[in-house]
Amino acid sequence: MSWQTVIGLEVHVQLATRTKMFCGCPTGYGEAPNTSVCPVCLGLPGALPSPNAEAVRLGVIGALALGCEVHPTSVFARKNYFYPDLPKGYQISQFDQPLATGGAVMMESPERGPIAISITRLHLEEDAGKSIHDRIPGHTAIDLNRAGTPLAEIVSGPDLQSPAEARAYLVTLRQLLVYAGVSECSMEKGSLRVDANLSIRRPGAPLGTKTEVKNMNSFANVERALESERRRQLALLEAGRQVTQVTLTFNAGTGAVKPLRSKEDSHDYRYFPDPDLPPLVLEPSWIAAQQAGLAELPVARRNRYELDFALSAYDARVLTQEPAVAGYFESVVAAGVDAKTAANWVMGEVMAGWNEARVFAVEPQRLAALIALVDNGTVSLQAAKRIYVDLATSAEAPRSVADRLGLIQVRNADALVGWVDEVLAANPREVARFRGGEAKLIGFFVGQVMKKSAGKADPKAIQPLLLERLGA
Ligand SMILES: [Zn+2]
């Protein structure tokens, strides 16, 4: 009898605010340690927290993008535990009355096709500080710059059935949140973190004992960590042993998970409503306005690309992966380029550069001007790709780069005839074979003429000339 894997994910995203959740300290990344702090986020006696309205707004937008119901009243609660990076001795979070509940994310499972993953809840909380183990030999240093950074915790239902599916869910969730403008969602910069719960059961049986895996620094490593934990639990169950509730840490170097501590239950945290913060009350009309103002989300944008631009589902999917890339593509089209031609350029040269450096080296208008040179026959497509490389490092106009590099196509008959005759004279054996019936050699001759012209000959003009000279 087979086993079924059950995975649920808790994703923490940093809300894209300039200041922290309950104080005015900046939320910058890479500042000198312990410089973005104040009595509130240091937890000094007498300091009072005050919720960041922008963080609340972004949390609401995130919840709406995930199809959740946003509650007009939610409550900030204290989650009590001791850890050196938590100066107050508690984290302000939300517990039994979260900001939002009951959403769903539609996604494409690599194994099951289109599925809906339920979102149990989205709540607001503040981040803790950071323990740094490699700064002072033999000691652990604490940087409290992150303490109080606004987070949304997004908890999925136990609906994912494989590590690969968990990874695909994260890609979809991240895309939604980036589109909605809620968070940068960068695992590298710590603005997206994942805790993964995994259990195994016989199909149809009650849920098995779950474990929690932490410390994954990429979506690929979330998948690897869950694969490792699934193998570990399967081995236990196959041997007739029990899985115990435990928190594990993933080692990316070895690909293995290691038990960290026995997992806490929520009652271990002694949650209670924060007496310093009144309930968070939101006007239903304000929530409705946020819903009405939601940005276009990925599914809508993909559909629009298929309908308005007549692009394939594949092209639409690739172009809309990142809102920045989609926006670039639309600017190129707005500058007068045919949608399919623009799509080919963006999915090729443009995305290669974007994926590498997260910048668009050539402005959409200049790319459009370059594509116009191909369309009107001034340069070949091959030459245009060469010019693109140059445009990426200069502010020159495409036409002037083409001139400078000598890439303007030559359609002048005398020049073309000269190159054609030279090529035919230099390849008498191929000429004889062509005349003997090997028609496919025409491609060879065209290639030779292109080479002789250093790419400047117009291939469309060469072929009829060749056929004429070869007496075909
Ligand atoms: Zn502060």
pLDDT tens-place values along the chain, 472 residues long: 699 999 999 999 999 999 999 999 999 888 899 999 999 999 999 999 999 999 999 999 999 999 999 999 999 999 999 999 999 999 999 999 999 999 999 999 999 999 999 999 999 999 999 999 888 999 999 999 999 999 999 999 999 999 999 999 999 999 999 999 999 999 988 899 999 999 999 999 999 999 999 989 999 999 999 999 999 999 999 999 999 999 999 999 999 999 887 766 767 899 999 999 999 999 999 999 999 999 999 999 999 999 999 999 999 999 999 999 999 999 999 999 999 999 999 999 999 989 888 899 999 999 999 999 999 888 988 889 999 999 999 889 999 999 998 888 877 778 888 999 999 999 999 999 999 999 899 999 999 998 888 878 887 788 888 988 888 6
CA-nearest of 445, 416, 414 to 428 is: 445
Q: What is residue 337's three-state secondary structure? A: coil
Distance 57 CA to ligand 1 centre (A): 20
Q: Rounded to a whole number, what is the distance in angstroms from the first to the last CA of the chain?
A: 71
Distance 273 CA to ligand 1 centre (A): 21
Distance 23 CA to ligand 1 centre (A): 5
Give one word for 396, left, alpha or beta, with left for phi > 0 and alpha for psi -120 to 50: beta
Residue 1 confidence (pLDDT)? 67
Distance 38 CA to ligand 1 centre (A): 4
CA-nearest of 47, 2, 46 to 24 is: 47
Q: Are 210 and 245 in contact (CB under 8 A)?
A: yes
pTM, 2 dp:
0.84
DSSP state of 148: T
Distance 222 CA to ligand 1 centre (A): 32
Cα(146)–Cα(129) distance, rounded to whole angstroms?
A: 5
Cα(130)–Cα(197) distance, rounded to whole angstroms?
A: 23
Cα(292)–Cα(152) distance, rounded to whole angstroms?
A: 21
**CA distances in angstroms from 472 to 413, 423, 439, 442, listed in the order given:** 19, 16, 9, 11
Domains of the chain, with CATH numbers?
Answer: 4-286 (no CATH), 413-469 (1.10.10.410)
Structure tokens at 293: 């103002």
Residue 312 confidence (pLDDT)? 97
**Which residues 6+ apart lie within 8 Å of 94 measured at CB?**
74, 75, 76, 77, 123, 124, 125
Distance 146 CA to ligand 1 centre (A): 9
Cα(144)–Cα(46) distance, rounded to whole angstroms?
A: 19
What angle is formed at CA 470 by the lines to CA 464 and CA 472, rounded to 5 degrees? 70
Distance 149 CA to ligand 1 centre (A): 9
Distance 291 CA to ligand 1 centre (A): 30
Structure tokens at 396: 């020159």
Cα(355)–Cα(119) distance, rounded to whole angstroms?
A: 30
Cα(79)–Cα(272) distance, rounded to whole angstroms?
A: 7
What angle is formed at CA 150 by the lines to CA 149 and CA 152, rounded to 5 degrees? 135
**CA distances in angstroms from 471 to 11, 323, 417, 426, listed in the order given:** 71, 55, 14, 17
Distance 183 CA to ligand 1 centre (A): 20
Give φ, ψ of 67 to 5 degrees: 75, 20
Distance 39 CA to ligand 1 centre (A): 6
Buried b (16+ CB within 10 A) or exposed e, 369-384: bbbebbeeebbbeebb
Q: What residue spans of 105-218 are helical by DSSP H? A: 163-180
What proportions of the chain, in percent to the nearest 5, are helix, strand and coil?
A: 40, 20, 40
Q: Are 60 and 98 in contact (CB under 8 A)?
A: no
Distance 17 CA to ligand 1 centre (A): 13
Give φ, ψ of 228 to 5 degrees: -65, -45
Distance 145 CA to ligand 1 centre (A): 8
Cα(43)–Cα(86) distance, rounded to whole angstroms?
A: 9
Q: Are 304 and 330 in contact (CB under 8 A)?
A: no
Distance 89 CA to ligand 1 centre (A): 16
Cα(421)–Cα(444) distance, rounded to whole angstroms?
A: 14
